[in-house]
C-alpha cells in the first residue's frame, strides 16, 4: 500500500463522517424551525389583571423597607501586622438591614 492509498482511505472515511454529520445537522435544525413557526401562530397569551380596593378580611399587608446604607471614607493605613499598605478608599456600610414592615 503506497502513500496515496493511505491518504485516500482516510479521505473516504472522513468524507463519510462529514456527510453523516451534515445529514443529522440538517434534520435537527430543519425540525426545530418548522415546529417553532407552527407553534407561534397558534399560541395566544392573555394577561388579565384584577385589583381589589378592599383587602380580604384577616389579611395583613406588609411593605419592604429599604436598608439604611452609609458611605464612609477610610484613611490609608497599614494592616495589623504592619506589612501591607492599604490606600485610602470609600466603603459602603449597612447601618440597618432591610425588613418587612407592617402597613397600617
- Do the domain assignments include residue 92? yes
Q: For residue 12, what pLDDT band results from cuts at 50, 70 and 90? A: low
Q: pLDDT of 15-66, one tens digit each? A: 677 777 777 767 666 655 544 444 555 667 777 766 656 666 777 888 999 9
- Do the domain assignments include residue 2? yes
Tell me phi and psi for residue 99, to 5 degrees: -155, 160
Q: Total structural domains in the chain?
A: 2
Residues 69 and 39 occupy one common structural domain: no
The backbone region for 39, taken as left when phi is positive above 0, alpha when psi lies in -120 to 50, beta otherwise, is alpha
Predicted pLDDT of residue 21: 76
Structural domain containing residue 32: 1-43
Asked if 74 contacts 87 with a C-beta cutoff of 8 angstroms, the reply is no
Do the strands 89-96 and 99-102 form a parallel or antiparallel pair, or are they unpaired?
unpaired
DSSP result, 52-89? -SSPPTT---EEEEPPEEEEEEE--EE-TTS-SEE--E
Amino acid at each position: 500500500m503506497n502513500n496515496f492509498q493511505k491518504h485516500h482511505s482516510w479521505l473516504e472515511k472522513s468524507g463519510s463522517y462529514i456527510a453523516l454529520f451534515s445529514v443529522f445537522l440538517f434534520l435537527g435544525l430543519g425540525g426545530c424551525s418548522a415546529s417553532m413557526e407552527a407553534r407561534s401562530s397558534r399560541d395566544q397569551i392573555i394577561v388579565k389583571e384584577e385589583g381589589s380596593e378592599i383587602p380580604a378580611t384577616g389579611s395583613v399587608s406588609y411593605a419592604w423597607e429599604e436598608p439604611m446604607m452609609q458611605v464612609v471614607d477610610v484613611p490609608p493605613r497599614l494592616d495589623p501586622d504592619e506589612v501591607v499598605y492599604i490606600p485610602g478608599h470609600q466603603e459602603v456600610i449597612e447601618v440597618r438591614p432591610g425588613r418587612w414592615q407592617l402597613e397600617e
